[in-house]
């Protein structure tokens, strides 16, 4: 999620709910039309109420694609680079605190941030922060679709105007491929993914209790 929404990650993860729907690509039979419509209505209600709650909704349904989008891969790379940089800076700070503590004598001041974060650390972190700048909105879909303009799910999302705008309280991620742990964007199996969400929604016409969500 952090990688997908980098540059627009302005919502509180502690105040975020994760919903999903999944299954074979049957737009109406699986109730995806109703799912997307309900997300749009929820978005309107949350915005009207001035709520700070954010909902991130995943649609996991295999469709015809050519590859992962450059933007999706870039987001994960940017997050990994930032995480690695922060780890390096943290290790350096820990080492400097330790060394400074060894030399401490009664009456000496405690180390302050200017001593702990070096100029090189600041330059490196600044580079990573500038790399997180994004001019467009976070993408709706993680893959390059074979027939983007004719895809029912994407067209429904466009119709209800869920474009992952900063003002939207409901964010949408369409992942047109079944999940697996080798996926560079969502590297987890289906069961693991389900355990990490708050609710699965299966508005199927012929499976009222979501018997075969995947």
Are 62 and 33 in the same domain?
yes
Instruction: Give domain status of residue 36, yes or no.
Output: yes
| 62-71, 95-104, 155-164: range with lowest mean pLDDT | 95-104
Grouping H, G, I as helix, E, B as strand and the rest as coil, residue 60 is strand
The full 3-state SS of 131-196, as one line of letters, equals HCCCCCCCCCECEEECCHHHCHHHHHHHHHCCCCCCCCCEEEEEECCCCECCCCCCECCHHHHHHC
Are 93 and 51 in the same domain?
no
Instruction: Look up the domain containing 111 and give its range.
Output: 71-131
Are 23 and 75 in the same domain?
no
Tell me the per-residue pLDDT of 41-55, one tens digit each, with 9 for 90 and over: 999 999 999 999 999
Grouping H, G, I as helix, E, B as strand and the rest as coil, residue 51 is coil
Tell me the per-residue pLDDT of 15-29, one tens digit each, with 9 for 90 and over: 999 999 999 999 999
Are 44 and 79 in the same domain?
no
Q: b vs e for 26-36, b when ≥16 Cβ sit within 10 Å of the residue's Cβ?
A: eeeebbbbbbb
In this predicted structure, what is the pLDDT of residue 129? 82
Grouping H, G, I as helix, E, B as strand and the rest as coil, residue 68 is strand
In this predicted structure, what is the pLDDT of residue 214? 47
- Of 131, 158, 182, the domain-final residue: 131
User: Smallest Cα–Cα separation from 81: which of 2, 24, 16?
Assistant: 2
* CB-based contact 3:129 (threshold 8 Å): no
The single residue listed with the structure tokens 């991130």 is 56
Tell me the per-residue pLDDT of 142-169, one tens digit each, with 9 for 90 and over: 999 999 999 999 999 999 999 999 899 9
Instruction: Give domain status of residue 19, yes or no.
Output: yes
The single residue listed with the structure tokens 């800076």 is 89
Instruction: Give domain status of residue 185, yes or no.
Output: yes
């Amino acid at each position: 999620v952090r990688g997908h929404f980098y540059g627009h990650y302005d919502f509180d993860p502690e105040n975020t709910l994760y919903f999903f729907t999944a299954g074979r690509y049957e737009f109406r039979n699986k109730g995806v039309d109703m799912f997307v419509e309900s997300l749009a209505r929820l978005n309107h209600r949350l915005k009207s109420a001035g709520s700070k709650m954010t909902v991130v909704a995943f649609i996991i349904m295999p469709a015809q694609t050519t590859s992962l989008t450059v933007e999706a891969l870039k987001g994960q790379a940017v997050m990994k680079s930032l995480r690695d940089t922060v780890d390096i800076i943290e290790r350096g700070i820990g080492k400097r605190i330790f060394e400074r503590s060894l030399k401490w004598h009664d009456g000496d001041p405690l180390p302050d941030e200017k001593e702990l974060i070096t100029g090189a650390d600041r330059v490196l972190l600044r580079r990573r922060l500038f790399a997180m700048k994004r001019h467009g909105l976070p993408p709706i879909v993680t893959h390059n679709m074979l027939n983007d303009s004719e895809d029912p799910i994407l067209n429904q999302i466009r119709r209800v105007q869920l474009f992952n705008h900063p003002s939207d309280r409901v964010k949408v991620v369409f992942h047109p491929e079944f999940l697996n742990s080798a996926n560079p964007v969502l590297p987890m199996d289906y069961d693991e993914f389900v355990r990490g969400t708050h609710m699965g929604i299966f508005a199927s016409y012929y499976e009222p209790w979501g018997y075969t969500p995947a």
